[in-house]
Chains A and B, each alone.
Chain A
Amino acid sequence: MSAVLQTGALVCTLGGLLSAALVLAATRDVLLSLRVLVDLLVAAGLLRLSGDADVGALATAAVIVALRQLLSSQLRRDLQG
């Protein structure tokens, strides 16, 4: 199952990069494209953590999601005003 999960995570990562690039080209909105990329990277991270994940890896994922919230609120403030 591990190989399948790793492949799924890779698909999500590549899809995230592609989607972010297309969203940036279509809307010229850096913040939106960054959010799209981070959303799909979180999906990839959660897929990688499925199965027999250890506490350290899960804690890293939780910290990333918390940091992501902090960064997006800061970026929103910087880019919108």
Chain B
Amino acid sequence: MPRRGGTRSGVLAIEVPEGLLPEQTLRHAVDLLVRLVEAAGALIIFTGAVVAIVRFVALSVRRRHEREFTSVRLGLGRYLVLGLEFQLASDLLKTAVSPSFEDIGQLAAIAAIRTALNYFLGKEIAVEERELEAEHRPP
């Protein structure tokens, strides 16, 4: 039986037939999306780390200038920040199906900590960029 629609206090209610989108199906779909987004975040972090390791080894073997190592570190930092953004996105998705207030509270704490991590990493990247620019600038 479809739910009754109509207007109340000027708000139009939309008729949603029961069984069109069962809660269980929605929960499974969101769970799948959460896994996918989390996996993407982890993949970005891992890729960034592997790229950085390869470049560090290559630069060390060729005995390059310290500035070049710093630019590799900045690249790694950007990968880490991007990976964290994906993890935050998965936290947000989880809130769509969290059944209890306790779950939402825990998610909020996790999201807050990940945001803080993101902030610190971003700040560190900005400091390093400023240092690198100062080195490049002629005296």
Residues of A in contact with B (beta carbons under 8 Å apart): 1, 5, 8, 11-12, 15-16, 18-19, 22-23, 25-27, 29, 32, 35-36, 39-40, 42-44, 46-47, 49-51, 53, 55, 58-59, 61-62, 65-66, 69
Residue among B52, B61, B84, B109 making CB contact with A40, cutoff 8 Å: B52
Q: Measured between alpha carbons, how far is A5 from B114 in the docked complex, in Å?
A: 18
> How many residues of chain B have a CB within 8 Å of chain A?
41
Asked if A50 and B42 make an inter-chain contact with CB atoms under 8 angstroms apart, the answer reads yes
For B35, B39, B45, B50, the residue with the greatest tally of chain A CB atoms inside 10 Å of its CB is B45
Interface of B is mostly: helix
Q: Measured between alpha carbons, how far is A36 from B77 in the docked complex, in Å?
A: 11
Residues of B in contact with A (beta carbons under 8 Å apart): 35, 38-39, 41-42, 45-46, 48-50, 52-53, 56-57, 59-61, 63-64, 66, 69-70, 73, 76-77, 79-80, 83-84, 87, 106, 109-110, 113-114, 116-117, 120-121, 123-124
Residues of A within 8 A of B53 (CB): 12, 15-16, 18-19, 40
